[in-house]
Structures are given as structure tokens and as C-alpha cells.
Structure 1
Amino acid sequence: MSQTLINSNQTITITKEDILHQIKLSCQIPEIVEQIVTRKVISAAIEEAGIEVTTEELQKAANQMRAMSKLKDAQATWAWLKKYGLSLDDFEEIVYITLLSQKLTKHLFKDKVEPYFYEHQLDYAGAIIYEIVLDDEDEAIELFYEIQEGEISFSEAAKEYIQDRELRRKGGYRGKVNRTEMKPEVSAAVFAANPPAILKPIVTADGIYLVLVEEIVKPELDHKLQQKIMFDLFTEWLKQQTEKVQVVSHKIITT
């Protein structure tokens, strides 16, 4: 395979060897090898599980992939394939592997989602919060008491002390933040609060957090969270499997 690029001054032919050499020079060989190992591990697990796909499932998955890539018609699809150096068979293989991976994920972890959720449901708890991060603890304490005594509102304080323009416009509103997205010191105080409540300044390595807790949101095992948990479990399983694999060095790495 080679690709010819033409500009106003010259014609440049790019070969497979050129592409491979550039991958090596870009130090991407370990990443590419990891992707190959991952694909082979998935393929072996799929074969062992006897997972298959129907023509209808494959067509539906292909349509979804085209929609996600905003390929509205045949012309757009062919242009996309050309851009990435893919054939139609390559595209079908991508769809096929993606679909099988999704089915493998369900096969391995669908029945483990609910037990995992109840065992780790605190990790999925969230809170609706507003926050201001300051550098000076004394200033944070003073501002805390001013807000608590009604001398200034949290929104007014946010507009005065927050540097980030968008967050300042929103009065420090962070929306729903999951426990795992918070710093441990902050999450401990937030989830011990009885909202609505403004918390005493929380000292962290990144600054002094002044947090207004509007609501504690209990986790619900909806479809979105089910998919996330399955994906997380599959990712961890895949990591463990690939770590067990011994890759035999190929000439591509040393030549």
C-alpha cells in the first residue's frame, strides 16, 4: 500500500514502510503492541465463550458507527475510509470487533453489575455543590463567617474570589459531583453535611475549599450507570488479562 500526496511543488509517495518507520520514530511501538495484544485477548475470550453476531446485529452496529462518525451518505463514508487508509472490509472488521467486544462485556459482567453496585454504592453517591477555592486559610475562614452571618452571599463571594470566568459566572456552581471526583478531604466533609449547608474551610494541598452543599444525591442503578459499571469491570478485567500475556519481540521493534 502506498499513498501519493501532491502539492504545488512536488509529488510525495508514502509507503507502508514509511508509515511503519514514522510509528517507530514517534515511539508509538509499545502503544501499538498493547492494542494488538488487547485485540487478541478479546478475540480469544470471544472464541472461548462461543459468542457470535447476526447479520442484523452487524448492520445495526454499522449504522450506529456511521452515525457516530457523522457519515450521512455513501460519499461521506468513502471519504472517511480514504482519510484513514481503510477498505470497506477494514470498516466491517472494526464494526465486527466492536460489536463482539460489547457482547463479551455483557457475557462476562451483566450479572455482576448489581452486586458490585451495592458493594460500592457509596462511590457512586453525588452531591450538588458550589465551591470557591482560596489560597489563604485566614481569608477563607473570614469569608466563611461573612457568608454564614449573611454579610455576603455565596454567589457574591464567588464572583469576587473565583478566577475561572465560567465558574465565576455560575456563582461557583459545580453541579452534581460524584464522591470519587472529589478530593478525599472534601468528600468526607460534603457527605457528612446536612444540606443545605455551607462547610467550614477545608484545607487541601491544592488550596482551601469553601463549599456550599445544596443536596446529597443518592445513587440509582439506572441504565447509564449499569453500562458504566460493566465498562469499568471489563476494562479492569482486560488490564489483568493483558498483563498476563508475554509478548514475543518482533523484528519490527529492533530493526
Structure 2
Amino acid sequence: MSNTEVQTEDIINFLKSELSFREVYQQILTQRIIAKYAEEKSIAVSEAEIQAEANQQRRKLRLEKASDTLNWLSQQMITPADWEVGIRNRLLAQKLAESMFAQDVERFFIQNRLEFEQVVLYQMIVADDKLAQELYYQIEEGETSFYDAAHQYDIDSTRRQKCGYEGVLYRWAIAPDIATLVFSSIPQQLIGPIKTEQGYHLLIVEEKIPAELTPQRYQEILQQMFKQWLNTQIESLLSQS
């Protein structure tokens, strides 16, 4: 056997040694579950749909010629047929998810609308209560800006470099007590000082982003519902084995 030849047993032993065998095993079970329920619901993927998805992937990978595609597949150590099977499986999963949960996405979004609100948030945390109060008054009086103060005094070096910028955050990504104040504030309003285990927080909301059921968010909710359902099916199968 050459040094580049890999047997099925080699792959299995490697996955076990890397503690990855269970993950791959569950992925195989997942595909079987999808195939089973898709067949029961008479859901299928056409050759035209596979070809359209393959063309989209080729454009994304900039595989302009057929030879470019074949070379790329060779580098991935798969055949065109293997590639098509993978595309079919992903499209089948998407179709099954749509069939099962598309009607529930909008209702879930409406029921949980608050959790999908976002803010563009700036924050600084200092260790001392007196410093926090002093910075609050200096910012309020216009003696310094929030961003300059964060750049100089924030205890976190990474956030200091970004002048307190935390990013675009969902409500669930912020500690509940702070989130209540953040989402009830108006943009550019100075919030704080708020004491936590980390220190004393001063915050500013630069912008509020209302919850909207965008195509991307629709897919996120749909896939989360589908994933939860699949996990339940897998757990049921494993408990029977």
C-alpha cells in the first residue's frame, strides 16, 4: 500500500482518535432521516435544480471552464457524481425544511419580535466608581467625548482600540439588566454608570435597528427549527439503538 492510499478503516480509526466519529455518525443519520421524510412527503430534487445550484457554485468559485471544475473536484478528491449527490442532499434538506416549518416562521418571529431587535452599541467599562462618575459628567458637559474616554480608560484593550465599539447586537447578546436600559434609551443618550462583576459600565446606543423578517432572518429561523427537529429525531434513534 502506498503512503497516499487511505482505506475506509483508516478513516474510521482517525475519526475515533480525533473524537469526531460521533459527529460524522450523526450527520449520516441526519441524511437518512431527511431522505426518509422527504420520500414520505413526495419531495424530490430535479436534475435541473441540481444543475442550477452547481452553476451557482461554479460562479462563486470562479470555475469558468469545464476543465476548471474537473480540476477543482480532483483537488477535493471527489467525482462529479459525488458533487451532485452533495448538492442533491442539501437541496432536499432545504425543501424538507420549507415543507415542514415555512408556515411557522412568521408566527415565531412575531411572538419573539423583541429578541430580534438590534442596537449599534458602544460601551466602556472602568474599574473605579469615582472614575466612572467623573467620566459621565465630563461627557455630559462636553469636556470629552464618549469615544475619546473609551479609547483612554476602558479596561479592555481590544475595545479601547475601537473607542468602545461593541458592534451590532441582539437583545439576547446583552446582559438582561443592561439590555432593559439599552433598548429603552434613545440614540446618543449616555447610559450609566451600571455596576456589574466586570466593573462600572457607561454605554451609548448609536442606532436602533427595528426587528424585520428579512430573507436572511427567515432562513435563520427556518434552519433553527429544522435543526431542533432533526436533533430530536436523532436522539430518538440513538435511544433505540
TM range (shorter): 0.7 to 0.9
- Which one of 187, 199, 203 corresponds to residue 191 of structure 2? 199
Identity percentage over the alignment?
Answer: 33
Moved beyond 6 Å, runs of 4+: none
Query: Contact 1:185/1:204 (CA < 8 Å) preserved in 2?
Result: no
Q: 2:30 corresponds to which letter in structure 1?
A: T
- Distance verdict in 2 for CA 1:179–1:91, change over 3 Å: same
- Number of residues of Structure 1 aligned to a counterpart in Structure 2: 240
Query: Contact 2:123/2:166 (CA < 8 Å) preserved in 1?
Result: yes
| 1:108-148 deviations in Å (ceiling 9; x for gaps) | 11111111111000000111221113334443233222212
- Which one of 73, 79, 84 corresponds to residue 87 of structure 1? 79
Q: CA deviation at 1:196?
A: 2.7
Structure 2 CA distance for aligned equivalents of residues 168 and 76 of structure 1: 46
- Distance verdict in 2 for CA 1:40–1:208, change over 3 Å: farther
The alignment's C-alpha RMSD in Å is: 2.4
Structure 2 CA distance for aligned equivalents of residues 73 and 16 of structure 1: 33
Structure 1 CA distance for aligned equivalents of residues 173 and 95 of structure 2: 29
Structure 2 CA distance for aligned equivalents of residues 171 and 110 of structure 1: 42
Structure 2 CA distance for aligned equivalents of residues 92 and 247 of structure 1: 33
Structure 1 CA distance for aligned equivalents of residues 199 and 210 of structure 2: 28
Query: What's 1:45 paired with?
Result: 37
- Determine helix, strand or coil for the equivalent of 1:130: strand
Q: Give TM-score scaled by structure 2 length.
A: 0.87
Q: CA deviation at 1:168?
A: 4.0
Structure 1 CA distance for aligned equivalents of residues 173 and 124 of structure 2: 16
Structure 1, unmatched stretches of 5+, are 5-10, 250-255
Structure 2, unmatched stretches of 5+, are none
- The structure richer in helix per residue is 2
- Distance verdict in 2 for CA 1:216–1:37, change over 3 Å: same
Q: Give TM-score scaled by structure 1 length.
A: 0.83
- Distance verdict in 2 for CA 1:236–1:206, change over 3 Å: farther
Q: 2:163 corresponds to which letter in structure 1?
A: G
- Distance verdict in 2 for CA 1:96–1:247, change over 3 Å: farther
